[in-house]
Amino acid sequence: MFRPSGTPTPGSNPNGAPVPPATPAPAVQPSQPWATPAARQDQAGSEPSANDSAAPSSRRAAREAAQRGGATRGSGGGRDTRPKRRLWWLWVLIALLAVGIGGAATVWVLYEDKVREVLGWELPNDYEGTGNGVEVTIVIQSGDIGSDVAKTLNEAGVTMTFDAFYDLLLTRPDVSFEPGNFRLQEQMSAQAALDALLDPVNKITNTVTIPEGTSYEDAFALIASATDITVDELLAAAADPTAFGVPAEAPNLEGWLFPATYPLDPGVTADEVIQRLVDEMITRLDALGVDPEDRLEVLIKASIVQREAGSNIDDFYKVARVFQNRLDQGWRLESDATVAYGTGNTHTVWTTGEERADASNLYNTYVNDGLPIGPIGLPGEAAIDAALNPADGPWMFFVPINLKTGETVFSETVAQHEAAVAQLQAWCRASTENAAYCA
């Protein structure tokens, strides 16, 4: 037999083979050098009984051999079959265990939910941690409620179950979601997913900056460069300005898009971005106290101020006063910026005599009375405020005399104005660099 430690008993080989006795037992046969007489009787089919009449000398010899270690129990001659029976049952037990374990695994895979239900084990419904590193883009649509967001997250593989996120939301009635695209990861806990959606850092945006004074068509080009929207799509959407809340008398969307920097979500449509910019302009007009029926007129005036005054905000209010004085006294505005816009040239305020004489140009304020038919650019808030609140003064003319610095002279009379124009012409001739500004 083997000790629990695996150390062989005295008289046995570490590999389990019998060790020959130090002194051979009597009557040993050459064919079975380690067998005892008793073992040979077993092999012959004559198992000794308690009444066996074998010679005492033979029995004594067997006992002596056993004492010397030559016939230990279970390792004597004749190869006792009892160890084999024990090994057989061991292999059967191992096989049964293997089948049982494999069957249990199969049952677990196929019927995990039912097994958990029977045993009262709760099925995990939430991941742990902040994700597995695989990025996922989540889109929250305008109008989505908590259940919509929970479904989106679960279907994208962000959360393990719908309930994990939705149950969390039930404990957070203060949470509101901003529409847009967000960067998350697969296999996030519900709490980690919620935190990520509420963190502005994870929102995917494209940024477009529309400068003040830009024409709406140039603004469309800027929007197209920052999004997947094409200029043609924007122009097609803008074909009906009234669809965006612009009055029917406005010839187009010019002047109605507020110039600013906008973050735009990926996937935004032409209609959506135009509506956003129009809404922003109307919001600014409302904040400045402009009545809806006066919006178009204010935007026309503000757009002229914006284009004529350029970047000199300090001059906005004086320029606005010059045009208002002219309107009040029945003078034509005679704005080169309006004429240039009517010719399709939105990047300059310089015009020719022929262009200024063209009465078919509805933006030509040299030959047409009053305001042009629409704005000539996108005015900013300062220009709008100047149109609403012109500076006090008697000026009827203005002209820049240094196009590099924007220095401008305001005049009351024609003579004063002509003298200022002469200053401008002299500045333009002063150098090649200056001349480039006057081209």
Same domain, yes or no: 183 and 313: no
Please give the pLDDT value at position 38: 39
Please give the pLDDT value at position 311: 83
Count Cβ atoms below 10 Å from residue 127 Cβ, excluding itself: 22
Span 132-180, pLDDT tens digits:
999 999 999 889 999 999 999 999 999 999 999 999 999 999 999 988 8
Q: For residue 436, how far is the Cα from the chain centroid?
A: 47
Please give the pLDDT value at position 142: 84
Same domain, yes or no: 216 and 249: yes
Same domain, yes or no: 230 and 297: yes
In a domain, 116, yes or no: no
Please give the pLDDT value at position 130: 94
In a domain, 73, yes or no: no
Same domain, yes or no: 191 and 255: no
Query: Computed over its alpha carbons, how large is the radius of gyration of the chain?
Result: 50
Tell me, what CATH number does 143's domain have?
Answer: 3.30.1490.480
* HEC secondary structure over the chain: CECCCCCECCCECCCCCECCCCCCCCCCECCECCCCHHHHHHHCCCCCCCCCCCCHHHHHHHHHHHHCCCCCCCCCCCCCCHHHHHHHHHHHHHHHHHHHHHHHHHHHHHHHHHHHHHHCCCCCCCCCCECCCCEEEEEECCCCCHHHHHHHHHHCCCCCCHHHHHHHHHCCCCCCCCCEEEEEECCECHHHHHHHHHCHHHEECEEEECCCCCCHHHHHHHHHHHCCCCHHHHHHHCCCHHHHCCCCCCCCCCCCCCCCEEEECCCCCHHHHHHHHHHHHHHHHHHCCCCHHHHHHHHHHHHHHHHHHCCCHHHHHHHHHHHHHHHHCCCCCCCHHHHHHHCCCCCCCCCCHHHHCCCCCCCCCCCCCCCCCCCCCCCCHHHHHHHHCCCCCCCCEEEEEECCCCEEEEECCHHHHHHHHHHHHHHHHCCHHHHHHHC
In a domain, 350, yes or no: yes
Same domain, yes or no: 361 and 387: yes
Same domain, yes or no: 158 and 223: no
Parent domain of 154: 135-204
Same domain, yes or no: 344 and 234: yes
Final residue before a domain boundary, out of 187, 204, 221: 204
Total domains in the fold of the chain: 2
* Residues of the chain under the 70 pLDDT cut: 1-123
In a domain, 305, yes or no: yes
In a domain, 117, yes or no: no
Same domain, yes or no: 234 and 370: yes
In a domain, 140, yes or no: yes
What are 429's two structure tokens? 């001739």
In a domain, 330, yes or no: yes
In a domain, 104, yes or no: no
Same domain, yes or no: 273 and 360: yes
Give the burial class of 272: count Cβ atoms within 10 A of its Cβ; 0-12 exposed, 13-18 middle, 19 or more buried: middle
